[in-house]
Amino acid sequence: MYARVLAGDAASNGRFFFGVTTTGIYCLPSCRARKPLRKNTRFFPTVEAARAGGLRPCRKCRPDDFASGADPVLESIEALVAEMRADPAAFPDVRAVARRSGFGPTRLFELFRLHYHATPADVLLRARLGAARARLRESGAGLAAIAAETGFESLSAFHDQFRRHAGLTPAAYRALAEASGSFTLALPPGYPLSYLRRALGRDPQSLSERLEGDVYTAGARLASGPVRVVLRLSPEAVKAEWSGPGASAGAAYEIQERVAGMLGFDQDAAAFARLARRLGFARLVAGRPELRVVQSLTVFDGLLWAILGQQINMPFAFLLRARLIRLAGEPLDDGLYAPPAPAAVAALAAEDLLPLQFSRQKAQYVIRAARLVADGALALENLRASSATRAERTLLAVHGLGPWSVNYLMMRSLGFADCVPYGDTGVTRGLQTLMHLEERPDIPATRRLMAAFAPWRSLATAHLWQLHQPEPS
């Protein structure tokens, strides 16, 4: 715990509080005040315990606000983002966002990076695109009218940005309403297909996904039910086809969103590659400057993996996943399964999983997390749209999700740009090689070294994972 205090580890906030006997105050682990000496530091599980020890709350880090869930600055940023999404045209530019926020431009920029892993300009652009998608789906308005209503300065800016983030034009997106079974998304120039294939084919024994040549087939779970999704990969485009019980009218919009997310169209790969080169780490991005963090098609599947994959080797984790899917997943056809629904896992008992070689603890973690999702206590899908800070706090409160799992889930399933799965051996080995370190960095050292890659630490992680593998064919 003292090491976490010295590192100023925000991920430890809420896990414990520390008090300083010489000053008589208690703090969050992330407090930026001067670090106390070990001999003057005491640790407490709750703010009540710290107060019972005769200490007062720090005025800088406000541990009582954190403990009660109150965070006025975060709440004001979240309210501002909700306004931007509801009416993006009310914010013609970032200066308008800053004026509305009451913060200075520099502070606003810091707060957006911290809480949304993005700049105010990025958040504004996504708000415009989200509003435009809703208008295209739900109204018959013309494209020029939609561009103006959602705050784009011109029809061509609307067209270009929409196509870059969605993989198809606004008109083609609107036509998905009539799509019955397929659409095609354009890949950005230079998209490293060989790395995508490697990510999609990494578990050859998987029951829910398979890669045969350039054809990726996966079971996915939509709001309308399970579907079989087939992606035909080519250097310029990905053609998606789907079938199955969940393939209702309107499924095309949901599948488009999942596939565009999976392919990482929203990720600013070029900006990260420029940063890496500027830092003198050209090697990190060599041969793959357009690499993306490949996202899981189903968020709950990502959650299961984040629990199954922690602290065991990958082949064994793959085996456990396959067994869980066979037990609780939904068979589609020719041996392919859709990942389990939360309710199906919630209905299991630990005794069902022990014979499948789950440890009792892992079995309990998986089932408890599934119950939270099935009961609606953990609104997993909504976390994509929430602030990163809120998503992280919500997930850290789930029993069985530690910092590795939470960051892994946030970067691989929820699309957050600035996460590091602390403790991940792929990351520490990658850093050791890249930076010529004598030893593998521990967690505080990883935190320090990765800080240079903010606000794109998720992409940095994806690149570090490649350093010890041969170039894919």
Output the smallest distance, CB 33 to Zn ion, in A. 5
Contact criterion met (CB below 8 Å) for 191 and 290: yes
Q: Measured from the CB atom, is 48 or 381 closer to Zn ion?
A: 48
Q: Distance (Å, rounded) from C-alpha 303 to C-alpha 409? A: 6
Q: Measured from the CB atom, is 65 or 241 closer to Zn ion?
A: 65
Q: Measured from the CB atom, is 67 or 148 closer to Zn ion?
A: 67
3-state secondary structure of 183: strand
Q: Measured from the CB atom, is 56 or 107 closer to Zn ion?
A: 56
Output the smallest distance, CB 28 to Zn ion, in A. 6
Output the smallest distance, CB 56 to Zn ion, in A. 11
Output the smallest distance, CB 27 to Zn ion, in A. 3
Q: Distance (Å, rounded) from C-alpha 133 to C-alpha 155? A: 15
Contact criterion met (CB below 8 Å) for 17 and 65: no
CA-wise closest residue to 407 among 420, 426, 423:
420
Residue with tokens 């590795």: 404
Helices (H), 291-442: 299-308, 314-328, 342-346, 350-353, 360-375, 388-396, 403-412, 425-434
Output the smallest distance, CB 54 to Zn ion, in A. 17
Beta-bridged to residue 219, according to DSSP, are: 228
Q: Measured from the CB atom, is 62 or 210 closer to Zn ion?
A: 62
Q: Distance (Å, rounded) from C-alpha 132 to C-alpha 162? A: 9
Residues forming contacts to Zn ion in the complex (CB under 5 A) are 27, 31, 33, 58, 60-61
Contact criterion met (CB below 8 Å) for 444 and 7: yes
Contact criterion met (CB below 8 Å) for 65 and 58: no
Q: Measured from the CB atom, is 13 or 428 closer to Zn ion?
A: 13
Output the smallest distance, CB 457 to Zn ion, in A. 25
Please count the other Cβ atoms lying within 10 Å of the Cβ belonging to residue 236: 11
